[in-house]
A and B are shown apart, each in its own frame.
Chain A
Amino acid sequence: MRIIIPIKQVPETRSVKMDETTGTVIRQGVESIVNPLDLYAIETALRLKEQYGGETVAVTMGPPQAETALREALSMGVDQAVLVSDRAYAGSDTWATAYILAAAISKLGGFDLIVCGERATDGDTGQVGPELAAALNIPVASYVNRITNITGSWCVADRRLEDGEEQLQITLPAILTVVKEIGVPRLPTLDGKIRARRTAIPIYSQKELQLPENRIGLNGSPTRVVKIFRPAVARQCQLEFGGDDRQNEQAVAKLFAFLQGREVV
Chain B
Amino acid sequence: MVSIQYNPVTSVIAEELREIVGERYVIFNDTEKLEPFSHDEIPGKGYRAMPEIVIRPRTAAEIAEIVKLANREMIPITPRGAGSGLSGGAVPIHGGIVISVDRMNSILEVDLKNMMIVVEPGVIANEINEHVKEHGLFYAGYPMSLETCFIGGNVAENAGGGKAVKYGVTSRYVLGLEIVTPTGEIVELGGKLVKDVTGYNMVQLMVGSEGTLGFFTKIILKLIPRPKYQVDLLCLFDSSESAINTVPRLMTGSGYIPTSIEFMDQASVKAACDYLNESIPYEKCGAMLLLSVDGMEEEQVIREYEAIGTLCRECGAQEVYVADNASTSERIWKIRRNIAEAYNLFYPRQSGEDIVVPPASIPEMVAEFRRLEQKYCVPIPCYGHAGDGNLHARISSDPNWTDEQWEEILPQILAEVYRKTAECGGRISGEHGIGHKRKKYMRTVVSEEYLNMLRVVKRGLDPNNIMNPGKIFDL
Interface residues of chain A, those whose CB is within 8 Å of chain B, are: 12, 14-15, 31, 33, 36, 72, 75, 183-184, 186-194, 197
A31-B280 CB under 8 A given contacts A187-B234, A189-B320:
no
Which B residues are CB-close (under 8 A) to A191?
320
Picked from A12, A33, A189, the residue with its CB within 8 Å of the CB of B321 is A189
Docked complex: B296-321 residues within 8 A CB-CB of A: 302, 305-306, 309-310, 313, 319-321
How many angstroms between the C-alpha atoms of A184 and B305 in the bound complex?
25
Minimum CB distance partner of A75 in chain B: B322
**4 further A-B pairs in the complex, CB-CB below 8 A; given A187-B331, A189-B322:** A33-B327, A184-B278, A188-B322, A194-B306
Give complex CA distance A184, B330 in Å.
15
Nearest-CB residue, chain A, relative to B310: A190
Q: A residues within 8 A CB of B305?
A: 190
Contact at B331–A190, with CB atoms within 8 Å? no
- Does B2 have its Cβ within 8 Å of any Cβ on chain A? no
A187 engages B326 (CB within 8 Å): no
What are 24 A-B contacts defined by CB distance under 8 Å?
Answer: A12-B327, A31-B325, A33-B325, A33-B328, A36-B327, A75-B322, A183-B279, A184-B278, A184-B279, A187-B234, A187-B280, A187-B322, A187-B328, A188-B321, A188-B322, A188-B323, A188-B328, A190-B233, A190-B306, A190-B310, A190-B321, A192-B322, A193-B324, A194-B306
| Closest Cβ neighbor of B309 among chain A residues | A190
Asked if B27 CB lies within 8 Å of chain A CBs, one says: no
B280 proximity list for chain A (CB < 8 A): 186-187
How many angstroms between the C-alpha atoms of A189 and B313 in the bound complex? 11
Residues on B with C-beta less than 8 A from A14 are: 326-327, 330
- The 9 lowest CB-CB distance pairs between A and B, nearest first, are A190-B320, A184-B279, A187-B321, A190-B309, A33-B325, A193-B322, A12-B326, A188-B322, A33-B327
CB neighbours (8 Å) of B320 from chain A are 189-191
Q: Considering the complex, give the chain A residue whose CB is closest to the CB of B234.
A: A187
With a cutoff of 8 Å between Cβ atoms, the chain B residues found around residue A75 in the complex are 322
CA of A31 to CA of B325, assembled, Å: 8
Establish whether residues A187 and B323, one from each chain, have CB atoms under 8 Å apart when the complex forms.
Answer: yes
- Min distance, Cβ B407 to any Cβ of chain A, angstroms: 42
Q: How far is the CB of B274 from chain A (nearest CB, A)?
A: 14
Which residues of the partner chain A approach B313 to less than 8 Å between Cβ atoms? 190
Q: Say yes or no for B332: interface residue by CB 8 A criterion.
A: yes
List, in ascending order, chain B residues with CB within 8 A of A31's CB.
325-326
**Contact with A15, one of B306, B310, B326, B328 (Cβ below 8 angstroms):** B326
- Asked if B325 contacts A12 (CB within 8 A), the reply is yes
Q: Mark B320-361 against chain A: 1 for CB-CB distance below 8 A, else 0.
A: 111111111011100000000000000000000000000000
Q: Using Cβ atoms and an 8 Å threshold, which residues of chain A touch B331?
A: 187
CB of B243, distance to nearest CB on chain A (Å): 16
Chain A positions within 8 Å of B279 at CB level: 183-184, 186
Complex Cα gap A184–B280 (Å):
9
Q: Which residues of A contact B322 (CB under 8 A)?
A: 75, 187-190, 192-193
- CA–CA, A9 to B330, complex, Å? 18
- Closest CB-CB distance, B349 to chain A, in whole Å? 33
Give bound CA distance, A164 to B191, whole Å.
67
Docked complex Cα distance between A75 and B233 (Å): 14
B335 nearest CB across to chain A (Å): 11
> A193 contacts which chain B residues (CB < 8 A)?
306, 322, 324
Distance to closest chain B CB from A32 (angstroms) = 8
Chain A contacts for B309, CB-based, 8 A: 190
A193 and B303 alpha carbons, distance in the complex (Å): 12
Q: State whether A187 touches B327 (Cβ < 8 A).
A: no
Min Cβ gap A225→B in Å is 27
Looking across the interface, which residue of chain A has its beta carbon closest to that of B320?
A: A190
Residues of B within 8 A of A36 (CB): 327
CA of A193 to CA of B332, assembled, Å: 17
Q: How far apart sit A184 and B322, CA to CA, in the bound complex (Å)?
A: 16
Please report the C-alpha to C-alpha distance between residue A186 and residue B233 in the assembled complex, in whole angstroms. 14
CB < 8 Å neighbour of A189 from B310, B319, B332 = B319
* CA gap between A75 and B327 in the complex, in Å: 16
| Chain B residues with CB below 8 A from A33, complex form | 325-328
How many angstroms from the CA of A75 to the CA of B325 in the assembled complex?
13
A36 to B328, CA, bound (A): 10
Docked Cα-Cα span, A14 to B321, in Å, equals: 22
Contact partners of B234 in chain A: CB under 8 A: 187
Task: Write out the residue numbers on chain B whose beta carbons fall within 8 Å of the beta carbon of A15.
Answer: 326
By beta carbon, the residue of chain B nearest A43 is B279
Task: Give B328's nearest chain A residue, CB to CB.
Answer: A187
Give the shortest distance, in Å, between B382 (CB) and chain A (any CB): 23
Q: How far is the CA of A184 from the CA of B319 in the complex (A)?
A: 18
